[in-house]
Structure 1
Amino acid sequence: MKTRVVVLISGSGSNLQALIDAAANADYPAQIVAVISNKSDAYGLVRAQNSGIATAVLDHKAFASREEFDAALRDKIDSYQPDLVVLAGFMRILTADFVNHYLGRMLNIHPSLLPLYPGLHTHRRAIEAGDATHGATVHFVTAELDGGPAVVQAEVPVEQGDTEELLAKRVLAQEHRIYPLAVRWFADGDLVFRDGKAWYKGDVIPASGIKFK
């Protein structure tokens, strides 16, 4: 039985596409059972539909509060009976109640080497800080924004003359490699969340995550 995955998106869904491509392989241990967006014009919905994956839209603007939206989103997600929830460019800050409902079975990918640069504009911040390296982190989601334990990180060099767009493109290419990998680890039972930490094959993962080579 493959691990059932629900993916949440808000935009183009390039990381979703990487997961769809990985799941198309017969030996991949996870299947995407639904894609849910808070924006009806998110291109990721088209990607899902083109692959025969169920889709749903919950417009956050139709709800009176963040709590009401999160409650409705939780109910919609749970209707698909997922084993894992994957955030792939889902541009909503989630309430603690929602996060705790999925604690240990929700992953996110963030375009920085966490704990550096939580939040937005990560590429600009890395360039302005004069960092030699930048990258992306897959982490378990906790109530602290971008603060859950890291699973895997991929690094890219910050090159002379880099713009935000150039750096973002190189980071995104690495995101497409490490996100399907982390989902595979979870589906295989190698990756677990326990005692507030991420564990891989019985060992605690370092605070900066497993380094992807």
Structure 2
Amino acid sequence: MATLIDAAKAPDYPAEIVGVLSNRAAAPGLAVAAAHGIATASLAQSKFPSRDMFEDTMTQVLESWETDLICLAGFMRILGEDFVHRWQGRMINIHPSLLPAYRGLDTHERALADRATEHGCTVHFVTPGLDEGPAILQARVPVLPGDTPDTLAARVLVEEHRIYPEALRMLARGEVGLGL
């Protein structure tokens, strides 16, 4: 998220970060966004009687910011079909694997357990299936002898910070889309 904020500061960047929404009040990204003068909101799903009510409230907040595109970053909740369909083609996520490999959690541990020779990250469109949306960009990193989940994650993170702003740039310029 901080990388996207930094990228959007460039005068020729085609997107503006209008708000940061978290499902955790203590998320460090909220303070980062506030320090940059960006609107923030926190909504705990546990405070809502249903996921639909939680997601309806998220939509209200996003619409109040006149949001065009959503970039998920560390939002560790599976979103409902209605919410995903509402933002279809305008919501992207970054995932620490070369999708379709290693959907879900513990991607680095699983890649190492499988003795993969390369790993990486994917920016993809969000669809109702977990980590199943079409890829926009991927970056590969080698799995090195002696790698641990932490060392592999650190190299993948460098690539995440490189490709996520580029994928958002491409989407904001209309260079990629679900129908393109």
Q: Is 2:70 the partner of 1:88? A: no
Residue 67 in 1 paired to residue 52 in 2? yes
How many residues are matched?
A: 180
2:139 aligned residue = 154
Q: In the TM superposition, what whole-angstrom CA distance separates every residue of 1:74-125 from its partner, at most 9, and x where no partner exists?
A: 1111111111111011111000000000001000010000000100000000
Residue number among 90, 102, 105 corresponding to 1:105 in the alignment: 90
Deviations 1:35-64 (A, max 9, x none): 001111100001101111000111111012
- Gapped regions of structure 1 (runs ≥ 5): 1-15, 200-213
Aligned residue number for residue 17 of structure 1: 2
Q: Distance in 1 between matches of 2:86 and 2:94?
A: 19
Q: CA deviation at 1:162?
A: 0.6
Is 1:29 aligned to residue 18 of structure 2?
no
Aligned to 2:123: 138
Tell whether 2:167 aligns with 1:182.
yes
Once structures 1 and 2 are overlaid, which stretch shifts more, 71-80 or 165-174? 71-80
AA of the residue aligned to 2:19: A
Distance across 1 between alignment mates of 2:106 and 2:26: 23
1:206 — aligned with what?
Answer: none
Distance 1:77 1:131 in 2: 39
Q: How much identity, in percent, do the aligned residues show?
A: 53
C-alpha distance in 2 between matches for 1:111 and 1:134: 8
Q: What letter corresponds to residue 105 of structure 2 in structure 1?
A: L
CA RMSD in angstroms comes to: 0.8
Match of 1:52 in 2: 37
Q: Which of residues 138, 148, 156 in structure 2 aligns to 1:171? A: 156
1:157 Cα offset (Å) = 0.5
The one of 114, 128, 152 equivalent to 2:99 is 114
With the length of structure 2 as denominator, give the TM-score of the two structures.
Answer: 0.98
CA distance in 2, matches of 1:90, 1:33: 17
Q: 2:164 aligns to what SS in structure 1?
A: helix
| CA distance in structure 2 between the aligned counterparts of 1:87 and 1:48, rounded to whole angstroms | 14
Return the match for 2:26 from 24, 31, 41: 41
Q: Which has the higher helix share?
A: 2
In structure 2, C-alpha distance between the alignment counterparts of 1:178 and 1:146, rounded to whole Å: 17
One-letter amino acid matched to 2:154: K
Q: Deviations over 1:110-169 (max 9, x none)?
A: 000000010000000000000000000000000011000011000000111111111001
2:17 is paired with a residue whose SS is strand
